[in-house]
Amino acid sequence: MDKTINTPVAPLPDEYYAKRKSRKAWREMPYAEKVRCVVEMQKRVAPIYASRGKIIVPWKISQ
């Protein structure tokens, strides 16, 4: 077997780069903004969890 033959490498999918870009933006975001995002997510998923019988209470933060 000839080891000098290079096999082509497929490029990474666009989703990979989108995820990296999203994570970079999240890292650079101020802490207070991250907390606001988490609280907003908690508010959005609270009805979903309630329908499953699990009650969650979103954090209360001053804005």
Type of residue found at 21: K
What is residue 11's predicted lDDT score, i.e. its pLDDT? 82
Residue 52, CA distances (Å) to 42, 45, 46, 49, 55 in order: 15, 11, 10, 5, 9
What is the distance, to the nearest Å, from the Cα of residue 33 to the centroid of all Cα atoms in its chain? 14
Mean pLDDT by 10 residues, the chain (63 residues): 69 86 94 94 96 94 80
Q: Where are the alpha helices (DSSP H) in the chain?
A: 14-28, 31-51
Q: Which residues of 46-57 are buried (b: 16+ CB within 10 A; e: fewer)?
A: eeeeeeeeeeee
- Residue 10: the pLDDT is 79
